[in-house]
């Protein structure tokens, strides 16, 4: 691991210098001190307070500020009229103070002139109402006007600051797809029809694979497909789960594609890897509508925002982030309660987080997020959180404190599958509406929680290609059948891996349709000829089988936390 | 009873032949074995699996399949382009296999071409939004386009299969008014105005009877009346209860009239009574917006769908169905949990059900109702329900098993009044918003439940003309005053009947307006000069009176189950 | 007090004549008997029943009827076609019966012809849907058509009855802003833009004060400001709290201005103070969207409607009403449960209410409020409430019964601040979404409840100018900083007053934005240099300080009822 020599060198340095150590892995253990940043809004604050604020940040050991993610109206107050003086000035001042800057593109907040000149920038909701101006994320990712003007401001910004000596990284947009997950406008409709035509080629093929014969939902042409607006009825009636599945995929893809476009525009003006690019995913509490592996593919760093006090949840996100980009994991917004801020930070650091950026330096006096307490109060007093950072930056942190309990990769993986989650959320009937099965909650608060150990880092697996080095893999609620995953699981067990799957495994296909034939896995591993329709026993583990050199456990799809813990005990994890 | 000779003859036959016995009444007791059917979707299944599936159905003793109720897009893939080959083929094959067919008209699911060519087919909700294509029941019963094209497919279908030797019955549409209860479009508005003009003749008369002087809601012309769209307000504000009452009546009438029109078109091509026609009402859990007695008037058979495991609820629906059409009661969709399927079937059979059609043979892999377990799994394994049917068909069932406990008509009737239910649901103030008083829940789960006995069949009375043969009549929550019912109740008691009424009896008129004068019943029976404004005591029975040769009990309108049970005990029911 | 001589005179008269005594204050104590009125609807009743009904009212000691507040369609059945005969007749008949009349303007219910000829009369909700005709309050206070036609009917009515010898008072409209609090139509939008331009002068000033830099919400012109329609998003996203605050203020102002316009039109035809004018505010249970002090400014009498059985709540509203207009406090609709009607009336009387008008004489048989029990039943029988009034009118009531426990002004004031309430309701984050902090509920059911004594009347203070004569002032949840109030509080304490404030005191400004600098009060009284960010202790009283000759207590902003009671005990209130 190339970082280790640097680490060893740093271990000989003074305590204070741990702030500069990157996270790395030595002899299979992750070590190193996480560095600190904070979100700041120069445009909210008087020019004469900037210096005082930067000074105060440094007092807590903060080395970076993240800025500008909502400042479009200050960068371009009117169409094509750019104003960079204020930002030039802040960049210069922050450099003076030795405070590095993460620059954010401001595209989550289209300004009033854009909305008024091109109302089709605004998304349309599932009842056909076009959104209004006046908060954030009021943009359709398929609107040509939005794409044109937002990429223009991105490129202007990149051209101006792409090589600025104090700009150390880029954040694209802010929490893509958070509050505005899916738009139902005519631009989206047309793009969706094209995407479906490209994928299915004939409308007959689409009808067949979506089961549109059901309720006579068959289309004659691709042009008849609409965005899945809310079906009006006196009792609940939903759209075809296959249509929804494809639309969710389409909306995730639109976000990913737009994010990549921003990255491409920034890279034109960015001198290589020196200034890594990322975007800040929101945590799954707010939905898992954007597929992380896709979104992170073109990013240099895995970025995520997290607001949680629960240690197992913090661990899950830290492990996820590290799994997506080992050695480049950033928590871009982190805002835990003050009571366990230090505990959370130790979890992040131990699980490979390089940078943690606190959200935020100071409360907003105005606007929709006004009034919360942060590092300092509105009148400038340091809060308890400030003291925690101060202490953190002054000490050796985990490296020294936790020498004997250093975090180690556990060799255990847990699979997370966005489309299995969607299949559960979209579908209406039977066990699928059981609250406990809402995929992300269940996977994090039940399955991962049973695996959680304070000082062991698991791998969160998002792809069949990432099983190398694991001795155990847990695959919960993997209802969607993917042939490549099926192959990989069989190979994993064959070679000696221990595999834990649940009774809903591989029952649906990628179109959110149940399989009519049992999948190969069941036949080869369990010798079954049909899916398991009802519990075989009351035990959490329904079947235990050897397979090749390995072992496969089939667990009830609705096992409780206690039941999962018994499975984990049985496996000595 | 004309069926008895046939029954006697069958009683001499082998056990297996009970399958062919119709339900009947012998010496006041209902006997006979219920026959079995199942819903099947040839259009969902590969041609080469039809035979295997039919064979498997027969293995469980199933003698009929119900088909085609959602297959419009397969019968008429484009405007006027009819395709019958697949259905011809299935009809022929099912005949080969000795499996009778119930044919359904596919009108609940207008296909895409109809919706695109005539968007006014789609209903408009109470906020003015026109529905989208993509589920079911997306049709306005007053849309001329819907009427034209849907009656055309009905007649085409009837012409083709009306005399087919293997077609044994017709089901019209599917669960009329289930998910889409009321449309608020301009077609409906115009039709409603005409209906009101025909009924009230002058707008002054309507204003007077609806109390439109209240809040200055008086109209000047019939053309000013709108469908009762949701009133927007920051606090709850509803439409005039009289307007709503008439609109609910109008929407029920529109469904009834459309159903009768379908029947008339089918009968043109149907050779007499040999092929009975019905429609499958949904159970009251989903609303009681369509008046059953009206809907069943033109039907040959009382058809209903039921999904319930509660024995008293199953009994209520079975008794209702039999009461509507004695000797022609069919449960068209029945889908209880596997645990008490046999118990439920015994209840149905004992209460006069001739045919029970299980919903459904196999789970849907796709679409909005995907994934539930049925008679066989998606991969074809028989489920527990399949085994229950198998056993049922092989045995003599109730006739033998329950010889000593045979179901008998109890001589007890319970009145069900749709408009009293509507009066409670529509109105806003006072006791009427109390959850327990939601009419159908209260009447079934409290009043009927207190009357329920495993082996006694009650009469559910829907009309004052149907009291003959009862010794006791319970009339709960009959808030609407109908002079003909008042007369009938007085006569019933006078001649010796025992009558149980509740304290809200006859307080409103048919326009959903409270009476200003006490109704005759109170004066003659109880000697009262005003309605009972507050409880007379804490006892469930507020007043007991002799009347003629009979007896009248006045029960609190919100008596609990335990209180109703005490009333039932007092009457030795 | 000028009423006292009249009172003394009346005290010498017979018991029955107490009915004629106005409420007054003798030696600092409030005494006198409250008079009785009732709401009646001549237009709902047959002409031949009017006399009988008036007679029956008199039998209960009722001396006034309130009429006509929903009768626009009867006064003006078509545009400009006025019909007064029925009202002339009722006025004459009521005079014959010695029953005084409170006349109401019927403007809360625009008739169908107005709505059809000028659809812009109808308000638009926050999703952009224009309301329908068919209930009440379907009017936009900024619609030119509504203003024109509604002020015409007001003036016609005033011209006809302004000097009628039996018309003793006017009620304007009915419960302004109750069900329809805010409209979002284009008229409102234009008026709001003008109001904002008049107030802020430059758009830059508005952007600055609203913090529109947050999320790039900056406007370029006033014409870009929209009414704050609901922001569509998949997660909750609200409008800028500053925009909402100003819109709430604007909507309150529109109602106040319209009410004053009605008063001005009536006064043209009203001979002086003989016929006082008021409007009936609704109680805060339904919202506090209209600022009472503004609405009452042009009224001669403080009018309010109340439906409550809780004695502390009745007391709060009675104290509020008296505080707004000492000596002219009317409860225009009062409708308590029968069980404690007399107790409630004693509270009203003791707290200075002159007239109590029961809502209503008889139940409505029809319409949206049909079926409740009132003074008499639909068939005319007196109810328990009727008996209570009868007894009340026959006796000396409180004057005699409660001689030793006569109500006395307590010298304690409680501040009620509409905009602090709005700040809490509008804002989204942190402690502000805590249910308990919903301002009116907390202030009445917690703070006032702790102060409530059966026979002490408190002053509810709505303005810094109204502290004279108080020894103690409680100022709960006063989050909005008003310099004039700050001055007044400091002066109050300095001169020896005891002041109780809560820890959220003066943290935001009038634009609903948090202050960046601590307010003077904290510095001068508590010697603090920053706001209190977290509890100083678990005690309800966080700080006790002397200030001048007085004392200041700082109480936790979320103190419970028990905690408030301990504060009240400490102060010996």
Please report the beta strands in B448-565, taking only residues with DSSP state E, as ranges in sequence order.
456-461, 472-475, 498-502, 541-547, 550-555
- Statement to judge: residues C349 and C449 lie in one domain: no
CATH number at residue B318: 3.20.20.80
- Statement to judge: residues A522 and A397 lie in one domain: no
Q: Which of B230, B513, B531 sits opposite C366 (nearest CB)?
A: B513
Q: Token pair 């004052």 is at which residue?
A: B464
Over the stretch B195-240, which tens digit does the pLDDT of each residue have? Answer: 999 999 999 999 999 999 999 999 999 999 999 999 999 888 999 9
Q: Which of A240, A514, A516 sits opposite B371 (nearest CB)?
A: A514
- Statement to judge: residues A412 and A397 lie in one domain: no
Q: Do A216 and B44 touch (CB under 8 A)?
A: no
**Domain contains B13:** no
pLDDT tens, chain A, 573 aa long: 333 333 333 333 323 233 334 444 555 555 568 999 999 999 999 999 999 999 999 999 999 999 999 999 999 999 999 999 999 999 999 999 999 999 999 999 999 999 999 999 999 999 999 999 999 999 999 999 999 999 999 999 999 999 999 999 999 999 999 999 999 999 999 999 999 999 999 999 999 999 999 999 999 999 999 999 999 998 889 999 999 999 999 999 999 999 999 999 999 998 766 899 999 999 998 999 999 999 999 999 999 999 999 999 999 999 999 999 998 999 999 987 778 999 999 999 989 999 999 999 999 999 999 987 789 999 999 999 999 999 999 876 655 454 344 678 999 999 999 999 999 999 854 444 444 568 999 999 999 999 999 889 999 999 999 999 999 999 999 999 999 999 999 999 999 999 999 999 999 999 999 999 999 999 999 999 989 888 999 999 999 999 999 999 999 999 999 999 999 999 999
Cβ–Cβ contact A174 with C under 8 A: no
Report whether pLDDT(B9) > 50: no
**Domain contains B227:** no
CATH number at residue B557: 3.40.50.880
Nearest CA in chain C to B534: C373
Last residue within a domain, chosen from C349, C381, C403: C403
Backbone dihedral region of A92: left (phi > 0), alpha (psi from -120 to 50 degrees) or beta?
alpha
Characterize the bridge pairing of strands C35-39 and C353-358.
Answer: parallel
Task: Quote the tokens at residue A443.
Answer: 């996977």
In the prediction, which pLDDT does C371 show?
A: 80
Distance CA A258, CA A141 (A): 7
- Statement to judge: residues C69 and C154 lie in one domain: yes
Q: Which of B129, B364, B372 sits opposite A127 (nearest CB)?
A: B129
In the prediction, which pLDDT does A432 show?
A: 41
Distance CA C155, CA A203 (A): 68
Calculate Rg over the CA atoms of chain A: 25
Report whether pLDDT(C3) > 50: no
b/e C211-241 (16+ beta carbons within 10 angstroms → b): bbbbbbbbbbebeebbbbbbbbbbeebbbbb
In the prediction, which pLDDT does B235 show?
A: 87
Q: Which of A69, A366, A379, A383 to mutate to test the interface with C (most CBs of C within 10 A)?
A: A366
**Domain contains B209:** no
Distance CA C258, CA C260 (A): 5
Distance CA B60, CA B392 (A): 8
In the prediction, which pLDDT does A398 show?
A: 53
The mean per-residue pLDDT over the stretch B133-137 comes to 97
Distance CA C414, CA B132 (A): 55
Q: Token pair 């002490």 is at which residue?
A: C456
In the prediction, which pLDDT does A436 show?
A: 52
Cβ–Cβ contact C427 with A under 8 A: yes
Active site residues of B: 175, 333
What's phi and psi for B96, nearest 5 deg? -55, -40
Using CA atoms of B266, B270, B275, B279 in order, give the dihedral in degrees to the nearest 10.
0
- Statement to judge: residues A180 and A107 lie in one domain: yes
Count of other CB atoms within 10 angstroms of residue B224: 15
Average model confidence (pLDDT) across chain C: 91
Count of other CB atoms within 10 angstroms of residue A117: 11
Tell me the β-bridge partners of C65: C38, C101
Distance CA A499, CA A554 (A): 9
- Statement to judge: residues C421 and C498 lie in one domain: yes
Q: Do A237 and B137 touch (CB under 8 A)?
A: yes
Q: Which of B126, B134, B153 to mutate to test the interface with A (most CBs of A within 10 A)?
A: B134
The arrangement of strands across the sheet holding B541-547 comes to B456-461, B408-415, B472-475, B498-502, B550-555, B541-547
In the prediction, which pLDDT does C280 show?
A: 98
Nearest CA in chain C to A110: C216
Q: Which of A229, A234, A429 to mutate to test the interface with B (most CBs of B within 10 A)?
A: A234
- Statement to judge: residues B359 and B430 lie in one domain: no
Question: For chain B, first and last CA: distance in Å?
Answer: 26
**Domain contains C25:** no
Cβ–Cβ contact C335 with B under 8 A: no
- The answer to whether residues B290 and B176 touch, using CB atoms and an 8 Å cutoff, is yes
Cα distance from C269 to chain A (closest Cα, Å)? 46
Q: Which of B211, B229, B516 sits opposite C367 (nearest CB)?
A: B211
Q: Do C364 and B211 touch (CB under 8 A)?
A: yes
Distance CA C573, CA C568 (A): 6
Report whether pLDDT(C25) > 60: no
**Domain contains C5:** no
Cβ–Cβ contact C519 with A under 8 A: no
In the prediction, which pLDDT does B50 show?
A: 98
Q: Which of B70, B106, B377 sits opposite A533 (nearest CB)?
A: B377
Q: What is the band of B427 on the pLDDT scale with cuts at 50, 70, 90?
A: confident
Distance CA B128, CA C94 (A): 46
In the prediction, which pLDDT does B264 show?
A: 97
Give the H or E element holding residue B64: strand B64-67
A and C: number of Cβ contacts within 8 A: 153
In the prediction, which pLDDT does C397 show?
A: 60
Last residue within a domain, chosen from A403, A418, A433: A403
In the prediction, which pLDDT does A534 show?
A: 84
Distance CA A457, CA A317 (A): 11
Count of other CB atoms within 10 angstroms of residue A28: 10
The closest of A36, A31, A27 to A11, measured between CA atoms, is A31
Over the stretch C292-317, which tens digit does the pLDDT of each residue have? Answer: 999 999 999 999 999 999 999 999 99
DSSP-derived letter for residue A21 is: P
Q: Which of B136, B286, B363 sits opposite A514 (nearest CB)?
A: B363
Using CA atoms of A203, A207, A213, A215 in order, give the dihedral in degrees to the nearest 10.
-90
- The answer to whether residues C532 and C504 touch, using CB atoms and an 8 Å cutoff, is no
**CB contacts, 8 Å: A377 with chain C:** 530-531, 533
Q: Do A364 and C530 touch (CB under 8 A)?
A: no
**Domain contains C206:** no
Q: Do C531 and A125 touch (CB under 8 A)?
A: no
Q: Do C241 and A286 touch (CB under 8 A)?
A: no
The pTM assigned to this predicted structure is 0.94
- Statement to judge: residues C521 and C540 lie in one domain: yes
Which chains have 3 or more CB–CB distances shorter than 8 Å to chain A? B, C
Q: Do A516 and B78 touch (CB under 8 A)?
A: no
Q: Do A241 and B367 touch (CB under 8 A)?
A: yes
Report whether pLDDT(C503) > 60: yes
Please list the helix, strand and coil fractions of chain C in percent, rounded to the nearest 5, in that order: 45, 15, 40
Range of the domain at B453: 408-570
Distance CA A222, CA A216 (A): 16
- Statement to judge: residues A470 and A507 lie in one domain: yes
Which of A144-148, B96-100, B270-274, B428-432 is the least confident region?
B428-432
**Domain contains B299:** yes
DSSP-derived letter for residue A370 is: B
The closest of C206, C188, C181 to C196, measured between CA atoms, is C206
Distance CA B400, CA B346 (A): 12
Average model confidence (pLDDT) across chain B: 91
- Statement to judge: residues C476 and C461 lie in one domain: yes
Report whether pLDDT(B498) > 80: yes
Nearest CA in chain C to B532: C377
Cα distance from B221 to chain A (closest Cα, Å)? 30
Residue C267 exposure: Cα atoms within 13 Å on the Cβ side? 14
- Statement to judge: residues C396 and C430 lie in one domain: no
The mean per-residue pLDDT over the stretch C70-96 comes to 98
Q: Do C43 and B213 touch (CB under 8 A)?
A: yes
Over the stretch C246-260, which tens digit does the pLDDT of each residue have? Answer: 999 999 999 999 999
Cα distance from C203 to chain A (closest Cα, Å)? 13
**Domain contains B204:** no
In the prediction, which pLDDT does A345 show?
A: 93
- The answer to whether residues C411 and C471 touch, using CB atoms and an 8 Å cutoff, is yes
Last residue within a domain, chosen from C354, C373, C403: C403
Give the H or E element holding residue B384: helix B384-394
Overall domain count for chain A: 2
Distance CA B278, CA B281 (A): 9
Cβ–Cβ contact C81 with B under 8 A: no
- Statement to judge: residues A441 and A396 lie in one domain: no
Over the stretch B226-238, which tens digit does the pLDDT of each residue have? Answer: 999 999 998 889 9
Distance CA B335, CA B374 (A): 8
Task: Quote the tokens at residue B279.
Answer: 């429609």
What's phi and psi for B378, nearest 5 deg? -60, -30
Cα distance from A433 to chain C (closest Cα, Å)? 20
């Amino acid at each position: 691991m190339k970082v280790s020599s640097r680490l060893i060198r740093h271990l000989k340095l003074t305590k204070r210098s741990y702030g500069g150590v990157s996270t790395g892995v030595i002899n299979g253990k992750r070590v190193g001190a996480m560095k600190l940043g904070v979100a700041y809004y120069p445009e909210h604050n008087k020019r004469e307070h900037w210096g005082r604020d930067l000074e105060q940040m440094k007092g807590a050991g903060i080395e970076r500020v993240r800025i500008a993610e909502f400042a479009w109206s200050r960068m371009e107050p009117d169409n094509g009229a750019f104003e960079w003086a204020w930002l030039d000035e802040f960049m210069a001042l922050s450099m003076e103070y030795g405070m590095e800057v993460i620059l954010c593109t401001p595209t989550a907040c289209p300004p009033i002139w854009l909305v008024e000149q091109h109302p089709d920038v605004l998304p349309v909701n599932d009842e056909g109402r076009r959104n209004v101006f006046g908060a954030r994320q009021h943009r359709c990712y398929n609107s040509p006007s939005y794409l044109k003007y937002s990429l223009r401001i991105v490129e202007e910004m990149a051209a101006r600051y792409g090589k600025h000596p104090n700009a150390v990284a880029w954040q694209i947009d802010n929490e893509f797809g958070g509050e505005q997950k899916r738009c139902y406008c005519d631009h989206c409709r047309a793009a969706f029809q094209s995407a479906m035509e490209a994928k299915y080629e004939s409308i007959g093929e689409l009808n067949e694979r979506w089961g549109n014969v059901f309720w006579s939902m068959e289309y004659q042409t691709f042009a008849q497909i609409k965005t899945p607006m809310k079906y009006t009825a006196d009792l609940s009636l939903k759209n075809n789960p296959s249509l929804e599945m494809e639309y969710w995929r389409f909306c995730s893809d639109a976000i990913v594609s737009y994010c990549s476009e921003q990255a491409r525009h920034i890279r034109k003006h960015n001198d290589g890897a020196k200034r890594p690019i990322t975007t800040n995913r929101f945590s799954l509490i707010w939905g898992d509508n954007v597929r992380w592996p896709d979104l992170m593919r073109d990013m240099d760093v895995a970025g995520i925002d997290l607001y949680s006090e629960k240690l197992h949840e913090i661990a899950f996100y830290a492990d996820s982030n590290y799994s997506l980009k080992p050695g480049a994991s950033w928590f871009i917004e982190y805002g835990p309660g003050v009571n366990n801020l230090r505990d959370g930070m130790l979890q992040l650091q131990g699980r490979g987080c390089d940078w943690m950026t606190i959200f935020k330096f100071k409360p907003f006096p105005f606007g929709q997020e006004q009034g919360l307490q942060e590092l300092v109060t509105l009148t400038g007093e340091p809060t308890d959180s400030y003291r925690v950072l101060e202490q953190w930056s002054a000490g050796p942190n985990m490296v020294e404190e936790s020498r004997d309990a250093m975090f180690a990769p556990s060799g255990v993986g847990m699979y997370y599958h966005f489309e299995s989650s969607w299949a559960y959320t979209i579908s209406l009937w039977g066990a699928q509406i059981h609250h406990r099965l809402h995929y992300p909650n269940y996977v994090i608060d039940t399955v991962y929680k049973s695996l959680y150990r304070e000082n062991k880092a698991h791998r969160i697996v998002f792809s069949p290609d990432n099983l190398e080095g694991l001795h155990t893999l847990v695959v919960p609620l993997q209802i969607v059948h993917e042939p490549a995953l099926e192959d990989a699981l069989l190979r994993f067990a064959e070679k000696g891996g221990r595999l834990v799957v649940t009774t809903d495994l591989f029952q649906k296909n990628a179109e959110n349709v149940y399989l009519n034939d049992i999948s190969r896995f069941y036949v080869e591993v369990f010798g079954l000829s049909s899916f398991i329709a009802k519990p075989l026993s009351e035990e959490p583990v329904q079947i235990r089988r050897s397979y090749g050199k390995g072992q496969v456990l089939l667990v009830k799809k609705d096992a409780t936390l206690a039941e999962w813990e018994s499975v984990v005990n049985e496996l000595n994890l």
